[in-house]
Amino acid sequence: MNIYAFYSVNGEITNIYTGTQPEMQTGFAYINCGIEVNDTLYYIPDTASPVPTAKPTNPTTIDKTTVIADGVDKITLSSIPLNSTIDLTGDNISPIQDTATSSTIDFTFDVTGTYNLKVDLFPYLPFEAVINAN
C-alpha cells in the first residue's frame, strides 16, 4: 500500500489516502508521501514542486492568561497574522468569532470563568490559550 496526500491549489492537505489507485480520488492533486504526513501538521508550500512540509508555528503571543473579571484588566494578543480567525468560547458566553484586522487585540472580561481562545490562519498551526477570568 502507498500513502498519498491530496492537496488544494493553496497547498492545504485535505485528505490522506492509503491505497493503490489515487487517481480514483477526484478534485485534488496528490503526491506519494510517508506515513508521518498528516493534514493537521503538514502542508504543501510550493504546489509546483510538492513536498510535504511541517506547518509553521503561529506567531501570535499572549501577555498573560489570568485576568481580573472587572471589565478593565486586559489580556493582549500580539503578532496576530492579519485575516486570522479568532474564536473565543466559554461556559458563560455565547461563542464569539471574528477576523483579525489588526496585529494586536485587547480582551477584557466582566464575567468570571474559563475561556478558550483560538487564532487560526492557514498555513500556520493554530494558536490556542486557556484564559482564566477571576
Domains by residue range for the chain, with CATH: 2-54 (no CATH), 61-133 (2.60.40)
- Local confidence band at 25 (pLDDT 50, 70, 90 cut-offs): low
pLDDT(23) > 80: no
pLDDT tens digits, residue range 36-84? 788 899 999 998 999 999 999 999 999 999 999 999 999 999 999 999 9
pLDDT above 90 as % of the chain: 71
This prediction's pTM: 0.85
Residue 57 CB contacts under 8 Å (≥ 6 apart), including other chains: 124, 125
Grid coordinates belonging to 116: 478558550
pLDDT at residue 109 greater than cutoff 70:
yes
- Cα 13 from Cα 131, distance rounded (Å): 31
13-17, 42-46, 85-89, 97-101: least confidently modelled range: 13-17
Q: Which residues contact 22 (CB under 8 A, 6 or more apart)?
A: 2, 4, 6, 30, 32
Query: Per-residue pLDDT averaged across 111-116, rounded?
Result: 96
pLDDT at 24: 65
In the prediction, which pLDDT does 67 show? 97
Please give the residue that has the higher pLDDT: either 7 or 23.
Answer: 7
